Structure 1
Amino acid sequence: MRQLTYDGVPIPGLNDLVRTAIRLHPAPGVPRPDESHIGGPLLWPSDEPWPECPVTWPPDPDASDDAWMGGHPLDGPVPVMVSAAQFFRDDFPELPFPEGTDVLQILFCPLEHNSPYHQGPAVRLVWRDSGEVGDIADPPPAPEGAEAAFLPKPCVFEPCSIDELPRLCDFPAETRAALGIPEGASEDPEGWPELDQYSKIGGWTAWSATDRVDLGCRECGEELRQTIALATEEHEVGCGCEVTEDDPVGWSFSRQGVLNIFTCPADVTHPVKVRID
C-alpha cells in the first residue's frame, strides 16, 4: 500500500490505522435458516433450549459485560430472546470464528434495558458448528411488551468492502503527535475522511454521541475490538454502492444510532460489550 498522507504530508503509522470493513447493505428478503441474514429464522437445534435474556438481577456474567443497572427479577418469568442476525463463515470469513464453529448467531431481548452507556436491547452471541444441527427449532414469539423498534424485518445481505480510518478518539498517541493535534481536542482534523453510520463487520466505530470508555476485556484485560455494527439507517457514503432504502431493517437504536458489538481479540467467547452510539 502506498504511504497515506494528510494534507499532502506523509504521516508515520497512518497506513497501519486502515481497517477494511464489510458493509452489509441489508435488503428486504425471505432468508432461510441456513443463510446469513438479519431478522430471519436461526439455525437453532430443536433439542437446545431457546436462550433467555441475560439481564436478570443479578445478571448472567457469561453473556455480556455492560454493567446493567437492573434486570428481570429471577423470581418471575425471564423473557426469551429473539433472532437479530446470523452470519455464516462461508459468507463472512472476516469474522473471528472460534475453531470448530462456522456460524455466528446474534439474539436480542427486545425490551428496553439500562446500562451506564446506553438504553436498548440486551444482546447475546452464539458461535456454533452448523454441522451439528439436526432438526431446526421453530422461533419463539416475541415476549410480551417487546419494543417494535428492536424487532427486525427479515433482510438478506448485499455486502461490499470499504477501507476506514478511525475517529479522533481512536487515534494512537503517535498519530495525534504527527498531526499536531493538541491535548484535549475532540474534533476530527479538518478534511479527515468521513466515518459514517451503516451496518458492517469490522472496521472502526463511528463514535458520535457516546464517549469511548471502558472497553477492556473483563476476563483478560485486552482492548475489545469493534466486530459488528447494526445501524438504524444505512447512509449512502464511502463505498460508492447505491442505497435504495435507508432503513430496510426497521429497527431503531437510541436516537437513530448504531448498536456496536465489541469482542475480545484474544478469545471471542469472553463476555462482549455493547455500545449504542
Structure 2
Amino acid sequence: MAPSAMVPVVQVFKRDAPGDWWPEGADVFQLVWCPNSHWDAPAPHADVSPVIEVRWRRAADVTRVLAQPPKPVRHEDDGYGFSPRPCTLTPVHLTDFPYPDELPEEFPPAVRRLVEETDPEGDVITRVAGNKFGGGPTWHLTEPTEFRCRSCDAVLALLFTIASHSTTGITVGRWGDLRIFACPHDVGHGYWFDVH
C-alpha cells in the first residue's frame, strides 16, 4: 500500500472539554489518522481500522498552519468512512455511567430500573451518542474487556471515543465506535485502540 497523508479527525480545546485526561501544559487535543483500513494494523491499533496518531499540543505553540495540506491517498471507496467531512463539535457536559454490571449497590434504583426496562442485556446508560472524552466504554458487542498498559500494567481508562455518524461522515466497523484507551498514570505510556 502506498503511503498516505494523515487526515484530521478531531481537534478539541481544553476550555471546551476540561477533565483529568489533559497532560500538563497541553490545551489542544488533536487526532489524525490514515484514511484507509489496515487489515493487519500494528499493535496497539485495531485490525480493519485506520492507523491513528494522538497529539497533545499547546495552542500558543501553533504559529503556522498549512494553507494547502497534502492530499491523502485513498485505497478504497471514498464513502467508506475514514474521510471525515469538515464540521464543528458542540461540547456538552454529561455524566457517563459504568457498565450496568459495574454499578455500585448504592446507585439510584430509578437508574437500575431504567437499564432493566430498556435493555437488560445492553449498556444503554453508557451509550451516549457522539464523540466523547472519558466516561465508560460501550460493550454492546462483547463482554467488558480490560486493557492493560504495556509499560506499567495499569488498567487503561477510556480516553476518547469516535462514534460513527452521518454528519461527520465517519463509519467505524459496522456503524460502531473507535475507542482510545490510555494509561491513567501517564499518557506517555502510549494508547490502545479498539473498534467496537
User: Is the TM value for this pair above 0.5?
Assistant: yes
Change (3 A) 1:103 1:146: farther
Where relative contact order (Cα < 8 A, 6+ residues apart) is larger, the structure is 1
**Among 151, 156, 160, the residue aligned to 2:83:** 151
Deviation at 1:144, TM superposition (A): 3.5
Structure 2 distance, partners of 1:270, 1:88, is: 22
TM-score (norm 1): 0.57
Tell me the SS of whatever aligns to 1:161. coil
Structure 1 distance, partners of 2:136, 2:64, is: 38
Structure 2 distance, partners of 1:139, 1:107, is: 13
Tell me the SS of whatever aligns to 1:131. helix
Kept in 1: contact 2:4–2:73 (CA 8 A): yes
Question: Which residue is equivalent to 1:195?
Answer: 126
Structure 1 unaligned blocks of 5 or more: 1-71, 180-187, 234-246
Q: How many residues align?
A: 177
Identity rate of aligned residues, in percent?
28
Deviation at 1:251, TM superposition (A): 1.2
Structure 1 letter corresponding to 2:9: A
Deviation at 1:196, TM superposition (A): 2.1
Deviation at 1:100, TM superposition (A): 2.0
Structure 2 distance, partners of 1:222, 1:206, is: 20
Structure 2 distance, partners of 1:214, 1:160, is: 27
The Cα offsets for residues 174-230 of structure 1, whole Å up to 9 and x where unpaired, read as x58x99xxxxxxxx9724763325221211111111443351010111111111111
**Among 151, 154, 160, the residue aligned to 2:92:** 160
Kept in 2: contact 1:89–1:95 (CA 8 A): no
Tell me the SS of whatever aligns to 2:95. strand
1:81 aligns with 2:6: yes
**Among 31, 43, 47, the residue aligned to 1:106:** 31
Q: After TM superposition, which residue ranges in structure 1, 4 or more long, deviate above 4 angstroms?
A: 115-118
Question: Which residue is equivalent to 2:49?
Answer: 120
- Calculate the aligned-residue CA RMSD, in Å: 2.7
- Name the structure with the higher helix share: 2
TM-score (norm 2): 0.78
Question: Which residue is equivalent to 1:34?
Answer: none
1:253 aligns with 2:172: yes
Structure 2 unaligned blocks of 5 or more: 108-113
After TM superposition, the structure 1 = structure 2 runs for residues 232-243 of structure 1, keeping only pairs within 5 Å, are 232-233=164-165
- Name the structure with the higher strand share: 1
Structure 2 distance, partners of 1:147, 1:119, is: 14
Tell me the SS of whatever aligns to 2:15. coil
User: Rg larger in 1 or in 2?
Assistant: 1
Change (3 A) 1:146 1:128: farther
The Cα offsets for residues 121-159 of structure 1, whole Å up to 9 and x where unpaired, read as 111101112212222124221124155310111111222
Kept in 2: contact 1:95–1:227 (CA 8 A): no
Change (3 A) 1:258 1:95: farther
Structure 2 distance, partners of 1:160, 1:197, is: 11
